Structure 1
Amino acid sequence: MDGRTLTVLLACVVGSACAGGDGAGDGSGSSRSVVRDSAGVTIVENERPPLDSRLGWRVGEAPAVTIGSPTGDPAYELFRVGGATRLSDGRIVVANAGSGELRVFDSDGVHLESWGGQGDGPGEFGAMAPASVERWAGDSLMAREPFQRRLSVFSAGGTFGRAFRLQGRYASAVGQLPDGRILARTLTSYSGGTPGTSELTRPDLEYGILEADGSVHRDLGAYTGSELYVATTAERTFPRAYPFARRAFAFAWGDLIVITTNDRYEIRSYRADGSLARIVRRDHEARAPTRADLRDYVARQNPDRPEALDAVADMPLVEAFPAFGRVFVDRLGHLWVEEYRLPGEEHRLWTVFDPDGRILGLVEMPGSFDVTEIGEAYILGRREDELDIEYVESWPLDRSGRTSPEPG
């Protein structure tokens, strides 16, 4: 048999090691994951878990920590939260772009101190920054300034270390790779249409690996980007919101680099030299949106503005709804993929895969909660209330249950 096309059957029956290695299963005997090799690319095919099943992991009934307040101490008044991360000692650092600060809270949500501030000095942030914050090498922190193409690094104690700009043509940092280098990208240029028209377009994204000082290490080339709905006037071209746009995602997954889209349920991972290494797929039935879907979505988002429907009268329809929503890698290397909610669906389900891309099962998230980070025993995220007051919450995550799907 040709080794380059050798199919390595790792048919993982429920209850086998592929289901997590604990011997648990639902007794159905059906295959859930098959791993094969094709010309040096590992392909992992996964069945879709029943929607009424749940992985044994559980998210708590209520947040363990809630940070945010509409009144009182200004340190708790959050505005334009760009992200949050939890340090190894339990402190939570919030990127509060509204004040240009990194705000630090203890494990109970009590404000300790704030770093940075708005300005042009060392350790200060410009407009709409910090747009995010994440742990960096050596227990440091990295905050992004998208308009300045700048990254600022702080120690875990809040001491400003250095700032550097992305070089080459790269406009934004995606994240840090295991070797300390930076994955970055930029949007390829595109021209608008005829003035007075609008269209759905999809410019490519160019990716590259940068050194820790921002200099270019390797260009990875152009990949399919996110869909944009753009309107063109006599003066300029500008994007407009599109309800069902397919998106591009990029992040580090262990030693691999994920560069993929949600056109289909497929996660493509590459080696640092740009060669394709692994494809993770899951069964998915594509559905095309209708004009009624589009109008219903806009009506729900604009209940007090019936005129908003006029803006979508001629809006084109995509070929299919996105196959999934957001996607994250947790601190233990598991892949979490948000199930896309079709019109009329209210669920908050995520599909979890092990570090090798084999499916584990479905987990239900709290409602109205935007995940920013998933740790070993917590899920960190952002929430807005009915008055648009922003909060950062940490919810407990219990992974002690079964590692194969069980009925919900």
Structure 2
Amino acid sequence: MTFRTTRTIGAAGALPVVFSAVLSSVLYVACAGGPDGGGGLRSVVRDSAGVTIVENGRPLPESRLGWQVGPEATVSIGTAGGDPAYELFRALDAMRLSDGRIVVANAGSGELRVFDSDGVHLESWGGQGDGPGEFGVMAPGGLEPWPGDSLMAREPFQSRISIFSVAGTFGRALRLQPQSGYQSVVGPLPDGRVLAQTLTTYSGGTPGTSELTRPDLEYGILEADGSVHRDLGVYPGSELYVVTTAQGTRARAYPFDRSAFAFVWGDLVVMSTNDRYEILAYRTDGSLARIVRRDHEARSPTRADLRDDVARRNPGRPEALDAVADMPLVDAFPAFNRVVVDRLNHLWVEEYRLLGEDQRLWTVFDPVGRALGMVEMPGSFRVTEIGEDYILGTRRDALDIEYVESWPLDRSGS
């Protein structure tokens, strides 16, 4: 089975050699004071052979940045019945345009549904099909702003992206050609090129065996026409638990899988994993540009943690526990869960939590990578976009009804 899954100091101002070396090595030290400033966070920024390294202390668990997410959503899109335009099905992503309109990637109908700033449906773009501006199965699967005030919609199973103007006019499609070696687009770069990726192949193990494995990911920069600008190399992918029998190979995500993630951060591309609390950012020529680290206390899962996680995900199915009886334990839980780059180029890193843990904390880093502190998010809410004064995301209620919601964000605190 094959698995495939973005000072020079002049002579007049010369300093003593030792002091000069220290100055060039340690570029910045910041201490945030007070409980509203992230719990007395300390960040050290230094240079090492052209790589900026940012070392951050860990915020106190009870500390908060001072930024506030409002007590309730200001916009909620979704309904259990009534106007079909508000019935969301497989709403996989959402983004807000500069004029306040909200675009929802509703993969269940193959549409981009557009709502005004109050959540009133205006129109829908695309539709299911193979024509220009139409979408295939499980698409559109993701949205990204595109340079020039447009937007990009992903089609993961078609190895294609579609570009629309903010007026809804279909501009063009970029289909990744097999000869490029890449299968999906991660996101656009400021210059119009794109970060792309592909999974390496895995043929499975010997019948009667099971294992944890990590198929590698290959990344590259593509031109606007889909041709390869530069290959960026091979990096670890996400963990899979693979069982091989005489009938074939079956793979599924490990309950506490260390994951790979890629995204564009300003003019850098991040290709990293959550094995450690460390984010690696590269220049588009493939050279390492920045390492952002934060103190983190690793926790090791137990067999009870594994069984509890499986039981919570499979209520009423005790046989599900049999499938993990021989599943190996990893050395540590992932260091964090997800990363989102906001519209001001801050990094928001979601803290890892076990299933059933209610508190949803995110550590916020400034555009350099210095930790500012923690912000608490609403429960049962998956963040898709963070703007200057709003947080956009998706939610399901107890009846599994889907919603897209916008919550206010106040950054005026320390």
Residue among 229, 250, 259 paired with 2:262: 250
Give the deviation of 1:299 after TM superposition: 1.2
Task: Kindly report which structure 2 residues correspond to 1:53-132, keeping only aligned pairs within 5 A, or say none.
Answer: 53-132=63-142
Q: Is the 8 A contact 1:4 1:39 kept in 2?
A: no
Q: Could you give the per-residue CA deviations for residues 64-121 of structure 1, whole angstroms, max 9, x where no partner exists?
A: 1001111011111111112011000000000111001100000000111111111111
Q: State the match for 2:204 in structure 1.
A: 192
Task: Answer whether contact 1:13 1:29 (CA < 8 A) is retained.
Answer: no
**Equivalent of residue 369 in structure 2, options 351, 357, 365:** 357
Summarize the alignment of residues 358-373 of structure 1 with structure 2, pairs less than 5 Å apart.
358-373=370-385
What aligned pairs does 1:22-41 form with structure 2 within 5 A after superposition?
32-41=42-51
- Residue 394 of structure 1 aligns with which residue? 406
The 2-side partners of 1:313 and 1:148 are apart by 37
Q: How do residues 34-49 of structure 1 correspond to structure 2 at under 5 angstroms?
A: 34-49=44-59
Say if 1:26 and 1:175 are closer, same or farther in 2 by CA, change over 3 A: closer
- Check conservation: 1:185, 1:206, Cα contact below 8 A: yes
Tell me: CA distance 1:31–1:388, structure 2 relative to 1, closer, same or farther (3 Å).
closer
SS at match of 2:174: strand
The one of 286, 291, 297 equivalent to 1:285 is 297
After superposing the two structures, state which structure 1 stretch, 150-159 or 361-370, moved more.
Answer: 150-159
* Paired amino acid for 2:31: V
C-alpha distance after superposition, 1:356-393 (max 9, x if no partner): 00010000000000001111111110101111111111
Q: Distance in 1 between matches of 2:290 and 2:355?
A: 32
Asked whether the equivalents of residues 28 and 46 of structure 2 are also in contact (C-alpha less than 8 Å), the reply is yes
Q: Distance in 2 between matches of 1:161 and 1:236?
A: 43
Give distance in 2, aligned partners of 1:84 and 1:27: 31
Letter in 1 for 2:398: E
For residue 187 of structure 2, what is the amino acid of its counterpart? G
Query: Does the 8 Å contact 2:32/2:372 carry over to 1?
Result: no
Off by >4 Å, runs of 4+ in structure 1: 1-6, 24-31
What's the % identity of the aligned pairs?
A: 77
Q: 2:233 aligns with which of 221, 231, 250?
A: 221
Contact 1:4 1:38 in 2 (8 A): no
Distance 2:366 2:391 in 1: 17
CA distance in 2, matches of 1:78, 1:164: 27
Match for residue 324 of structure 1?
336
Deviation at 1:230, TM superposition (A): 1.9
Equivalent in the alignment of 1:10: 28
8 A contact 2:145–2:151 mirrored in 1 = yes
1:149 to 139, 154, 159: 159
Amino acid at match of 1:108: D
Q: Counterpart in 1 of 2:351?
A: 339
Task: Provide the residue aligned with 1:265 in structure 2.
Answer: 277
User: What amino acid maps onto 1:8 in structure 2?
Assistant: V
Which structure 1 segments of 5+ residues have no match? Answer: 16-23, 403-408
| 8 Å CA contact retained: 1:256, 1:270 | yes
3-state SS, counterpart of residue 53 of structure 1:
coil
Q: Which amino acid counterpart does residue 363 of structure 2 have in structure 1?
A: T
Give the distance between the partners of 1:277 and 1:133, measured in 2 at CA.
Answer: 26
Deviations 1:187-229 (A, max 9, x none): 0111201234332100110000011122111000101111111
What is the RMSD of the two structures over their aligned residues, measured on CA atoms? 1.9
Amino acid of the residue matched to residue 247 of structure 1? S
Change (3 A) 1:64 1:29: closer
Name the counterpart of 2:5: none
Contact 1:134 / 1:143 at 8 angstroms: preserved in 2? yes
Structure 2 residues without counterparts, runs of 5 or longer:
1-16
Q: Structure 2 CA distance, aligned partners of 1:386 and 1:27? A: 36
Q: How far did 1:343 drift?
A: 6.0
Secondary structure in structure 2 of the residue aligned to 1:89:
coil
Match of 2:317 in 1: 305
Question: What is the one-letter code of the residue matched to 2:219?
Answer: Y
Question: Which of the residues 136, 139, 147 maps onto 1:137?
Answer: 147
- The residue number in structure 1 matching 2:6 is none
Deviations 1:134-156 (A, max 9, x none): 22121111111111101111111
Q: Aligned residue for 1:20?
A: none
Alpha-carbon separation, structure 2, partners of 1:29 and 1:171: 43
Distance of 2:175 and 2:288 partners within structure 1: 29
Q: SS of 1:138's equivalent?
A: coil
**Partner SS, residue 198 of structure 2:** strand
Counterpart Cα distance in 2 of 1:347 and 1:35: 30
Query: What is the SS of the residue equivalent to 2:71?
Result: coil
What SS is found at the alignment partner of 1:308? Answer: helix
Question: What is the match of residue 406 of structure 1?
Answer: none
